Copies of this chain bind each other. A is one copy, B any other.
Amino acid sequence: MLQSKLFPKTKREAPKEAESINHKLLVRGGFIDQLMAGSWTLLPLGWRVVQKINQIIREEMDAIGGQEMLMPLLHPRSIWGETGRWGSAKDNPLGAQEVMYQFKDIRGKEYALSFTHEEIVMDLLRKNIKSYQDLPVYVYHFSTKFRNEPRARSGVLRGREFMMKDLYSAHVSEKDMMEYYEKVKVAYAKIFKRLGFNFRITEASGGVFTTNRTHEFQVLCDTGEDTIFYCDKCDWGENKEIFQGKEKGVCPKCKKGKIVKAKSIEVGNIFPLGTWYAERMRVYYADKNGMKKPVWFGSYGIGPTRVLGTLVEVSHDEKGIIWFPQVAPFAVHLIELPGAKNAKSVYDILKGEGIDVLWDDREVGAGEKFADADLIGIPVRLVVSRETGDKVEWKNRTSGKPELISLEDSINKLS
């Protein structure tokens, strides 16, 4: 795409109220725009990154049998009443009134905005599941969640309206549920590895749903709000809540490693919820003997917009963002400087090869172009100028050394 047409332009200054790195850099680079506290437009560049994040998630969800669909965002009060989650947490440990947007319309009907979707999936299941032959079910969607967070800050890390990929699974037994839970854990680990994160899986409390532990996926990050404890040799890890009161000595699992404390950002979590929901919402199936039994249920979430912010928190320098290639808005930033004769042909050839190129065709100085390229953070920069002739100057975003190479060689390096 032509940078002269890209909406909007980059900004020299970050918003005054911006505290976090992702907020500053994503706004300055033209990836996001704030409508109100905790509410963001994903601008064309930001939407490109989120689509790449989503595609990685989608591939791994499909690989474990997930079926993509799309559930509504406006929910009737009645459905949230069935599990008691409509209420206040003061009265009920599950009550969500404080963060759930609830309202009455002009006809007097009461609604909640999608805080999460367990109740909606349960309603789908009870209408469509009859016997053990109809199970298991694995369904997921990418959709909007609304949570009225008291403090909406940290850029896109904690929004009042944000995107979530939520997967739900329904099973005939605890054993089947736990086997799938382990599969999802592996799929999530693959996703976060593909996204380029240095992360740990930490145990967390199961709350009122289950005596099983749940798991969180925590990206190591000095600017993170969370604190985790993990073993420096094996895969043992716990979140702050359940580690509380324990000692930071030798790893209780491998007995070799040392327990390390670190700051982190939670990017995913998985819950083996058991039969709690099925019992309250009357979601039963008939087993082989015709006996009615409650469905075993799990839910699994990843926040793609939170992933967007986390990517920036962990990969940037003083000049701007450094996107990992697999999530970069474009594969190549083609910078045209005065006197270049081959800009258009280089652009056309790269596009013809199926490579996503942002072509800086603007009539502005080289300094501004390089500064914008560093801010936007596309991993590969190709410069064409009077000096490069029919070659191109290749520079990685993270390396200081440009190389003069043929276009053919750059295509080979990009493929």
Contact = CB atoms under 8 A, between A and B. Distances in A.
A110 to B, nearest CB: 10
Given A36-B76, A105-B148, A144-B144, A7 B70 contact: no
A146 interface: yes
B105 A40 contact: no
Contact of A137 (B7, B39, B70): B7
A98 B106 CA distance: 8
Contacts of A42: 69-70
A355 interface: no
A69 B67 CA distance: 25
Given A35-B120, A67-B44, A68-B47, A144 B73 contact: yes
Determine chain A's interface SS by DSSP, over half rule. mixed
A203 B321 CA distance: 48
Interface string A67-99: 111111111100100000000000000000110
Interface centre among A8, A68, A148 (most CB of B within 10 A): A8
A113 B112 CA distance: 12
A8 B7 CA distance: 42
B65 A127 contact: no
A112 to B, nearest CB: 11
Contact of A139 (B7, B70, B75, B138): B7
B73 A44 contact: no
A124 interface: yes
> Assembly of this chain: how many copies?
2
B73 A127 contact: no
A40 B107 CA distance: 20
A60 interface: no
A12 interface: no
A190 interface: no
Contacts of A67: 1, 5-7, 44
B33 A127 contact: yes
A72 B40 contact: yes
A46 interface: yes
A222 to B, nearest CB: 29
A211 interface: no
Interface centre among A72, A129, A146 (most CB of B within 10 A): A72
Interface string A220-245: 00000000000000000000000000
B106 A44 contact: no
Given A39-B74, A106-B148, A128 B9 contact: yes
Contacts of A71: 35, 41
A103 interface: yes
Interface string A147-167: 010000000000011000000
A134 interface: yes
A259 B185 CA distance: 64
Contacts of A35: 71-72, 75-76, 79, 120, 123
A195 interface: no
Contacts of A161: 72-74
Contacts of A36: 76
A45 to B, nearest CB: 9
A61 to B, nearest CB: 12
A219 interface: no
Interface of A: 1, 5-9, 33, 35-36, 39-44, 46-47, 50, 65, 67-76, 79, 97-98, 101, 103-107, 111, 113, 120, 123-124, 127-129, 134, 137-139, 141, 144, 146, 148, 160-161
6 closest Cβ pairs, A-B complex:
A103-B103, A8-B128, A44-B67, A42-B70, A39-B72, A47-B69
Given A7-B128, A35-B120, A42-B70, 8 more contacts: A5-B67, A6-B67, A8-B134, A35-B76, A39-B74, A41-B124, A42-B69, A74-B146
